[in-house]
């Protein structure tokens, strides 16, 4: 049965003259035993909420996943699809892409990410189990990983987190083939992986990855260990079956060539043509695929037998529908924010919004990469998740931004939870690969990033984001919110929760900001991405200010100074460029207006504003890293002040001879 996987992989790579045959051929035995004897799944319902999750973190081995999905009878993938491996328009991409074929649980390829997602799946499972019990949520998460995954830093973060949390239902298989692209792993790594995992509180077994009895026994043992995650380190031969290139780097990602493929046919006594599987083997694999149906029906019966409110709540959570009470929670928060004149940091406003939201939405699961008191992300009602104790809704992720982001992606994909997690905006760089994957998968992960500019003050340039806002706005499908006060913060949270098209990131100030939105009117202005916050007193405004976040009030002050001088100006608040770009052209044109001069203001670099500035490039912001000092002094030092904005407007007026 394992040879079915091997030859689908070898023939598909040979046919495409591109791809990675080595991993599927090396891990075929492990996959066969896992799916045949253990995996809880039913190809008839790929999204069954209590299915076991299966992730290949070494995503270049996607043909292993494609072939298993095809062989066990998932309808989304035919042998013709596999024949079109790596072609434009086919669903069998060069790396597995989330749900391009139902059964692909997450997008992998950038190494180590899948391990992080798997830890997220395993956390989600335990958290939901704590709420809904064994009857409704009780599954394993299995993850395959290669030498590369284990060299990546992210693997340390999530292995350490998983061991700490005692994720007993997480079982990881290390494809210990000792080969990477450059050659033998001895070129670059000497880690004792078994000892390393043991040091992080994992149960560890070392086996021959081609000994099916040993694999079966190891999985049995791993399932029996409930107080620790399990590593099964499998000694394998990369490209198992190739006569000359197996066990070498040539088997990793080279097209094997006809000789190797036919040699493998001889060695493994495989007489079928490419993409043809002998009938008895098809039957055996289809049998594996149909094994889970009865289990799924029992689960459905248990769901039906659950108390009605439990069933309704479970289904609501799994479908990702917001609860009835969430609107009231937002309304209360907005009400609270609009009733004050007291300056407030938007991180604090966000914390107050979350106080309401976490009461209304049990699916919210918060956390921080060791900046809980700074990010304002833990609310009064949230209980902490602790090792082996999953009845809470707040996670101390430790100083692990990357691991947090990847785990949150896993939780978001798992279903039943809406994860949000905090760090400083400057450290978005530390988790950027996972933010990107969230965007690519359209996962509804929420990144809460405080200390969003030089306004954080004394910690200085290493902690002050400068280029991060523009760099994050550059990521397709990532909605970057930067609210200017409490009302906008609440509106942005509303927009985040209503958004179904991808992840969101909310950038929040450390420093207190004066409220700018006393006039709270019905409708979510921030959700349109940008809106006019101050109109000109004339039908022919001369200057339009664009700003976001902590600089909006500076632009509004500049407006007032110029108003007194008789210069009519408008002020646009732009909390989210992506949502603004998605508005109808008519709205966009109305907001941007037709004043000859536009001045943008942000305590960051100009790149993400340039499209609105035209040739002039009137921008008040930064071209340089920040400095350590009191927030006000730092703003002064870099010339981001009301006076500088007024000067820039006057400069524009003189250049335009207006």
Name 441's Cβ contacts closer than 8 Å, sequence gap at least 6: 97, 98, 99, 106, 107, 409, 413
Query: What does the alpha-carbon distance between residue 507 and residue 494 come to, in Å, rounded to a whole number?
Result: 15
Annotated binding site: 20, 60, 109-111, 147-148, 177, 179, 252, 347, 374, 427, 451, 459, 463, 510
Query: What does the alpha-carbon distance between residue 132 and residue 139 come to, in Å, rounded to a whole number?
Result: 13
Beta strand 569-573 with 531-534: parallel, antiparallel or unpaired? antiparallel
Q: Do the beta carbons of residue 507 and residue 345 sit within 8 Å? A: no
- Comparison of 137 and 470: residue with beta carbon closer to its own copies: 470
Name 387's Cβ contacts closer than 8 Å, sequence gap at least 6: 164, 165, 166
- Comparison of 90 and 338: residue with beta carbon closer to its own copies: 90
What does the block give as tokens for 211?
A: 């000994």
What does the block give as tokens for 120?
A: 């997220």
- CA 485 → CA 220, 349, 493, 650, distances in Å? 55, 8, 12, 27
CA atoms within 13 A on the CB side of 340: 16
Q: Which residue has the tokens 């996607």?
A: 62
Scanning 254-325, the segments in alpha helix (DSSP H) are 258-267, 279-290, 293-305, 308-319
- Comparison of 516 and 640: residue with beta carbon closer to its own copies: 640
Residue 454 CB, nearest approach to its own copies (Å): 11
Residue 133 CB, nearest approach to its own copies (Å): 27
The residue from 401, 488, 491, 602 that is catalytic is 401
Residue 165 CB, nearest approach to its own copies (Å): 9
- Comparison of 161 and 516: residue with beta carbon closer to its own copies: 161
What does the block give as tokens for 200?
A: 């992080």
HEC readout, 478-490: CEEECCCCHHHHH
Q: Which long-range contacts (CB under 8 A, 24 or more apart) does 211-216 make?
A: 211/29, 212/29, 212/32, 212/33, 215/29, 215/30, 215/33, 215/34, 216/33, 216/37
- Comparison of 36 and 451: residue with beta carbon closer to its own copies: 451
Q: Do the beta carbons of residue 430 and residue 423 sit within 8 Å? A: yes
Residue 210 CB, nearest approach to its own copies (Å): 24
Nearest 5°: CA angle at 50, between 45 and 54? 80
Annotated binding site for Mg(2+): 147, 177, 179
Name 133's Cβ contacts closer than 8 Å, sequence gap at least 6: none
Neighbours of 566 (CB within 10 A): 9
Q: Do the beta carbons of residue 449 and residue 582 sit within 8 Å? A: no
As to burial, measured by CB atoms within 10 angstroms (0-12 exposed, 13-18 middle, 19+ buried), residue 217 is: middle
Query: What does the alpha-carbon distance between residue 623 and residue 626 come to, in Å, rounded to a whole number?
Result: 9
Q: Do the beta carbons of residue 272 and residue 278 sit within 8 Å? A: yes
What does the block give as tokens for 142?
A: 């299995």
Residue 521 CB, nearest approach to its own copies (Å): 30
Name 93's Cβ contacts closer than 8 Å, sequence gap at least 6: 62, 86, 100
Residue 227 CB, nearest approach to its own copies (Å): 12
Name 373's Cβ contacts closer than 8 Å, sequence gap at least 6: none
DSSP E strand stretches across 152-244: 170-176, 179-180, 183-184, 203-208, 230-235
SS3 at position 574: coil
Residue 110 CB, nearest approach to its own copies (Å): 5
Residue 375 CB, nearest approach to its own copies (Å): 10
What does the block give as tokens for 70?
A: 């095809």
Residue 302 CB, nearest approach to its own copies (Å): 34
Catalytic site includes residue 401: yes
- Comparison of 306 and 393: residue with beta carbon closer to its own copies: 393
Q: Do the beta carbons of residue 198 and residue 167 sit within 8 Å? A: no
- Comparison of 215 and 231: residue with beta carbon closer to its own copies: 231
Residue 430 CB, nearest approach to its own copies (Å): 5
- Comparison of 372 and 445: residue with beta carbon closer to its own copies: 372
Residue 216 CB, nearest approach to its own copies (Å): 28
- Comparison of 272 and 582: residue with beta carbon closer to its own copies: 582
> Could you tell me which of 356, 379, 331, 358 has the C-alpha nearest to residue 487?
331
- Comparison of 49 and 109: residue with beta carbon closer to its own copies: 109
- Comparison of 458 and 655: residue with beta carbon closer to its own copies: 458
**Could you list the active site residues?**
401
């Amino acid at each position: 049965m394992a040879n079915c996987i091997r030859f689908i992989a070898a023939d598909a790579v040979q046919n495409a003259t591109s791809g990675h045959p080595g991993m599927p051929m090396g891990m075929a035995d492990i996959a066969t035993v896992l799916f045949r004897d253990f995996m809880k799944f039913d190809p008839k319902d790929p999204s069954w909420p209590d299915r076991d999750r299966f992730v290949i973190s070494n995503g270049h081995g996607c043909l292993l996943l494609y072939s298993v999905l095809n062989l066990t009878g998932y309808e989304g993938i035919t042998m013709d699809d596999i024949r079109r491996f790596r072609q434009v328009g086919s669903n069998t991409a060069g790396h597995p892409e989330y749900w391009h074929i139902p059964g692909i649980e997450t997008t992998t390829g950038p190494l180590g990410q899948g391990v992080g997602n798997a830890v997220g799946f395993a956390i989600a499972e335990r958290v939901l189990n704590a709420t809904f019990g064994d009857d409704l949520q009780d599954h394993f998460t299995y993850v395959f990983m290669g030498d590369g995954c284990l060299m990546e830093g992210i693997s340390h973060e999530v292995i350490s987190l998983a061991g700490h949390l005692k994720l007993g239902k997480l079982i990881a298989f290390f494809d210990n083939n000792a080969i990477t692209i450059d050659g033998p792993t001895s070129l670059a790594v000497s880690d004792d992986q078994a000892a390393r995992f043991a040091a992080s509180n994992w149960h560890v077994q070392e086996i021959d990855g081609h000994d099916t009895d040993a694999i079966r026994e190891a999985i049995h043992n791993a399932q029996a260990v409930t107080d620790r995650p399990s590593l099964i380190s499998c000694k394998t031969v990369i490209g198992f079956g190739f006569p000359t290139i197996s066990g070498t780097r040539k088997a990793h990602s080279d097209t094997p060539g006809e000789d190797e493929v036919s040699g493998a046919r001889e060695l493994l006594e495989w007489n079928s043509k490419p993409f043809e599987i002998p009938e008895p083997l098809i039957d055996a694999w289809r049998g594996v695929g149909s094994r889970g149906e009865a289990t799924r029906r029992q689960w459905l019966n248990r769901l039906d037998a659950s108390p009605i409110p439990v069933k309704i709540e479970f289904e609501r959570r799994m479908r990702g529908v917001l609860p009835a009470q969430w609107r009231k929670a937002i309304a209360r928060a907005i009400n609270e924010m609009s009733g004050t004149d007291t300056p407030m940091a938007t991180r604090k406003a966000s914390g107050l919004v979350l106080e309401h939201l976490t009461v209304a939405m049990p699916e919210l699961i918060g956390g921080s990469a060791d900046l809980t008191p700074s990010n304002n992300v833990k609310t009064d009602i949230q209980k902490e998740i602790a090792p082996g104790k999953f009845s809470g809704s707040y996670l101390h992720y430790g100083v692990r931004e990357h691991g947090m982001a990847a785990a949150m992606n896993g939780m978001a994909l798992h279903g039943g939870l809406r994860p949000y997690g905090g760090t400083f905006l400057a450290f978005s760089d530390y988790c950027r690969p996972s933010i990107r994957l969230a965007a690519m998968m359209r996962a509804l992960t929420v990144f809460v990033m405080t200390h969003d500019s030089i306004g954080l003050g004394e910690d200085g340039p290493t902690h002050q984001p400068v280029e991060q806002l523009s760099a994050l706005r550059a990521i397709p499908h990532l909605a970057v919110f930067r609210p200017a006060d409490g009302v906008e913060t609440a509106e942005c949270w509303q927009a985040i929760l209503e958004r179904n098209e991808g992840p969101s990131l909310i950038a929040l100030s450390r420093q207190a900001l004066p409220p700018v939105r006393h006039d709270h009117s019905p409708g979510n202005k921030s959700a349109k991405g940008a809106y006019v916050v101050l109109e000109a007193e004339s039908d022919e405004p001369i200057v339009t200010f664009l700003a976001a976040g902590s600089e909006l009030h500076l632009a509004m002050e500049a407006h007032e100074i110029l108003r007194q001088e008789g210069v009519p100006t408008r002020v646009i608040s732009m909390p989210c460029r992506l949502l603004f770009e998605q508005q109808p052209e008519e709205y966009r044109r109305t907001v941007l207006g037709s004043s000859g001069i536009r001045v943008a203001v942000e305590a960051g670099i100009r790149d993400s504003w340039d499209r609105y500035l035209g040739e002039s490039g009137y921008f008040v912001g930064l071209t340089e890293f920040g400095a350590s000092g009191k927030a006000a002094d730092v703003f002064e030092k870099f010339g981001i002040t009301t006076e500088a904005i007024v000067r820039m407007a006057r400069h524009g007026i003189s250049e335009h001879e207006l």
